[in-house]
Each structure stands twice: as structure tokens, then as C-alpha cells.
Amino acid sequence: MLKISNLHKSYPIGDSSLHVLKGIDFEVNNGEMVAIMGSSGSGKSTLLNIIGILDEYDSGEYTLDGVAIKDLSEKKAAVYRNKFLGFIFQSFNLINYKNALENVALPLYYQGLKRKDRQEKAKFHLEKVGLLDWAHHLPSELSGGQKQRVAIARALAANPKLLMADEPTGALDTTTSYEIMEFLQQLNDEGKTILIVTHEEDIAAMCKRVIRLRDGVIMEDKIVEQVRAATAHV
């Protein structure tokens, strides 16, 4: 599904450069639910951005679903993002002047689907996150958890191969966080591959595998016993 080998990335800072990723190797198979952990500055967000084709890497190899991701034009990158990836952000990143349904339908718009098909699919995914009744509400009229569920519906709408979540619970309280995690686990049970960046241990424990980063290298990569969010105590 996803294969990364000897990945390096550095950012120029003034005259010198900051070496953020110092040779990352890992593989993610279909149906996995992986947590990438690490303190701030460990390079976990950079890694996620590279996997999400939002950022470029300096050296190494990265293949996604059998496609080598290297030196893509912006247009190609956009197409791959649309086709392969669903993004969930810490701050939801819903478009504030579009209602929930329109937000969910947005990736479908960029896929070039007809209006009717988009509406239908978007409704289906909104229903899946339990927010069909809120379809015509603006993000400002939704709670944090609801917003994140809309964002998840949006990430799912394009039916991506890989769901990528950058601190999906970072802006939510624990109860809501667990609800979101419960939902992500459900999706994973249905076979969706999910990658979550987090620095919260309890969130990481709800995944099936945890990769710990420190100073740009993988410290630990282990399979864990998944804690079901539905049974977790707040």
C-alpha cells in the first residue's frame, strides 16, 4: 500500500539547514491503522505531509499504491491527492461559508462528478457520520466533534485508499475525541487504511500499530493491542 525507504528531508534555515527526517523506513499494508507518535519537532508532521504529497522530500523512495511519488507536477500531485488520500486536520479546515453537505461534496467536485452524483454521495457519507440532519448547517453552527465528523465525511467522500489524520483529536475534549476514534476504528474495521499523527498516548493506543519518531528517526515500530474506543473510560 505504502512503502517508504531511506527518506530524508531538511529545511533550509538561513544559511544552514535543519535535517528533519534522517532516513525513515517503513511500510503500511492495506487495512492497517497506524499511529505516528513523537514530540513536537520529531518530524512526524513533516512525514505526514510528505506521505500526503503536500510536501516534497530530498532523497529516498516513496511509493503509494504502487506509484512512485517523486518530482510530481502540482497538477499530478493534486490528482493523486484527490484519488489516493483523504485528509483530516486538527483544526478541521472546513470552508466556513459552505454548509456541511457542500464541504463534503468538495473533493467530488474536483473529481469532476456531476452535481447530482456529488449530492448523493455527500449525503451518503454525511449519513455515515450521523450528520445528515445537519447537512445544511454552516460549520459555525456545528460543535467541534460535529465539525470533525463532517471533515471525516469529506475525507471519505472521494473514497481514498489512505485516510490521513493530523492530530484529529487535538482540538477536542476527551469524550468527543473517543467518539471520533471510535468512528475511525469502525472505518478501519471496514477495511480502510488509516494513518494518524498524534502525541496523545491514549489515542495511539487505539490504533493497531505505533511508530515512534524522535529527532527524525524511527525509535520504535510495534504492533499494539488495540484499545477499543467504545470501551475506553473517560
Partner 1 sequence: MLKFLFDRDTWQEVIDSMTKNKLRTVITMIGVWWGILLLIGLLGAARGMENSFNRSFSDFATNSVFIWGQSTSMPFKGFQEGKRVTLRLGDAKKIEENVEGIEFVVPRNQSQGFVVRGLLSGTYSLTGDYPLLDVVQKKKLKKGRFINQNDIDKKRKVAVISEDIYKQLFDKDEEPIGELIRINNMNFQVIGVFEVVPFGGPQTDIHIPFDTFQQVYNRGDQIGWMMITGKQEFDILQIEDDAKLLLKNIHRIHPQDKRAFGSFNLGDMFGQVTGFLKGMQFLTWFVGIATLIAGVFAIGAILLITVKERTKEIGVRRALGATPFEIKRQIVVEAVFLTLIAGLFGIISGGWILIALDSAYGQGDDAQIVNASVSIAVVFLALLILVVLGSLIGLIPAFKATSVKPIDALRDE
Beta bridge partners of 165: 88, 196
- Contacts with partner 1 by CB under 8 A: the residue count is 25
Choices 13-21, 92-100, 167-175, 198-206 (CB under 8 A): range interacting with partner 1 = 92-100
Q: How far is the CB of 81 from partner 1 (least distance, A)?
A: 5
Helices (H), strands (E): how many in the chain? 7, 10
Separation between Cα atoms, residue 151 and residue 108, nearest integer Å: 14
HSE-up of residue 190 (Cα within 13 Å, Cβ side): 12
| Residue 67 binding partner 1, by CB under 8 A | no
Nearer to partner 1, 1 or 79 (CB): 79
Nearest one of 124, 147, 127, 129 to 137, comparing CA atoms: 147
HSE-up of residue 78 (Cα within 13 Å, Cβ side): 9
Nearer to partner 1, 59 or 109 (CB): 109
| Residue 93 binding partner 1, by CB under 8 A | yes
Separation between Cα atoms, residue 20 and residue 215, nearest integer Å: 7
Q: How far is the CB of 200 from partner 1 (least distance, A)?
A: 21
Nearer to partner 1, 31 or 41 (CB): 41
HSE-up of residue 61 (Cα within 13 Å, Cβ side): 9
Q: Is the sign of the CA dihedral 113, 114, 116, 119 positive or negative?
A: positive
Residues 132-171 that bind partner 1 (CB under 8 A): 154, 158
Name residue 134's amino acid.
W
3-class secondary-structure state, position 13? strand
Q: How far is the CB of 215 from partner 1 (least distance, A)?
A: 21
Choices 2-10, 93-101, 175-183, 185-193 (CB under 8 A): range interacting with partner 1 = 93-101
| Residue 82 binding partner 1, by CB under 8 A | yes
Q: Is the sign of the CA dihedral 189, 209, 161, 231 positive or negative?
A: positive
3-class secondary-structure state, position 152? helix
| Residue 121 binding partner 1, by CB under 8 A | no
| Residue 78 binding partner 1, by CB under 8 A | yes
Nearer to partner 1, 52 or 212 (CB): 52
Choices 110-118, 181-189, 204-212, 223-231 (CB under 8 A): range interacting with partner 1 = 110-118
Nearer to partner 1, 49 or 226 (CB): 49
Which residues are at the interface with partner 1 (CB under 8 A)? 49, 52, 54-55, 74-75, 78-79, 81-83, 87, 89, 93, 95, 97-98, 106-107, 109-111, 115, 154, 158
